[in-house]
């Protein structure tokens, strides 16, 4: 080949996209992330609903069967039952909103981000919920006349739970950021593909 022919081939290749995104594989990856986020969110919601409702019923049972129960147990029962009710209402609202996303790659990505945002929110709520529950349990233990060592052990358990909840929350934040970065990249590539 002569230099001019090679130059023409080179120039024509420079005008073509040398690589492209496999949209089917990308869409499958987005669907996988969406399914994972939905699974984690469903499990978290159900665990929080069942755990809080069970704790509330146990605390109510304790307060009715033991006449010497302190008032903190009643507050603890009310708080955990209210938390269970709040999670049930939040779950119902989230599931109703699932139908508003279209079933395209961008729609599935927006849905995955919406679920990830919700998961970050409930993990933060769960982390903050440790504070009132911990305070009420500590006050109940202290009011019942237990030794200082029991109170300190209970305090230690709640401090560890708070650290674990913070670790979990950061994992969900990272997953949400990954989805948002993918969305930004796709939007910037889409806008770059449009003719000026």
Task: Look at residue 196 in the predicted model and tell me its pLDDT.
Answer: 45
If phi > 0 it is left, if psi is from -120 to 50 it is alpha, else beta; for residue 70 that is beta
C-alpha span between 81 and 61 (Å, rounded)? 13
Predicted pLDDT of residue 20: 52
Residues 175 and 32: their CA atoms lie apart, in Å, by 13
Low-confidence ranges of the chain (pLDDT < 70): 1-22, 68-69, 190-196
pLDDT of 102 reads 80
Domain limits, the chain: 23-188
In degrees rounded to 5, what are phi and psi of residue 190? -65, -40
Element (H, E) at 196: none
Separation between Cα atoms, residue 75 and residue 43, nearest integer Å = 27
pLDDT at residue 192, as a whole number: 61
Question: Rounded to 10 degrees, what is the CA torsion of 96, 99, 101, 103?
Answer: 150
Residue-level pLDDT at 53: 95
pLDDT at site 143? 81
Q: What angle do CA 49, 52, 53 make, to 5 degrees?
A: 80
């Amino acid at each position: 080949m002569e230099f001019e022919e090679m130059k023409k081939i080179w120039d024509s290749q420079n005008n073509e996209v040398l690589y492209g995104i496999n949209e089917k594989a990308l869409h499958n990856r987005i669907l996988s992330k969406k399914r994972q986020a939905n699974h984690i969110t469903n499990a978290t919601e159900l665990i929080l609903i069942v755990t809080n409702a069970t704790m509330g019923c146990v605390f109510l049972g304790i307060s009715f069967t033991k006449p010497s129960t302190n008032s903190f147990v009643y507050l603890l029962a009310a708080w955990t039952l209210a938390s269970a009710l709040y999670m049930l209402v939040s779950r119902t609202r989230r599931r109703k909103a699932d139908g508003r996303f279209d079933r395209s790659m961008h729609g599935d990505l927006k849905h995955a981000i919406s679920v990830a945002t919700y998961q970050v929110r409930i993990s933060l709520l769960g982390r903050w919920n440790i504070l009132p529950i911990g305070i009420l349990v500590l006050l109940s233990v202290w009011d019942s006349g237990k030794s200082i060592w029991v109170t300190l052990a209970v305090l230690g358990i709640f401090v560890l739970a708070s650290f674990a909840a913070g670790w979990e929350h950061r994992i969900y934040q990272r997953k949400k950021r990954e989805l948002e970065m993918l969305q930004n990249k796709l939007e910037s590539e889409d806008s770059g593909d449009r003719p000026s």
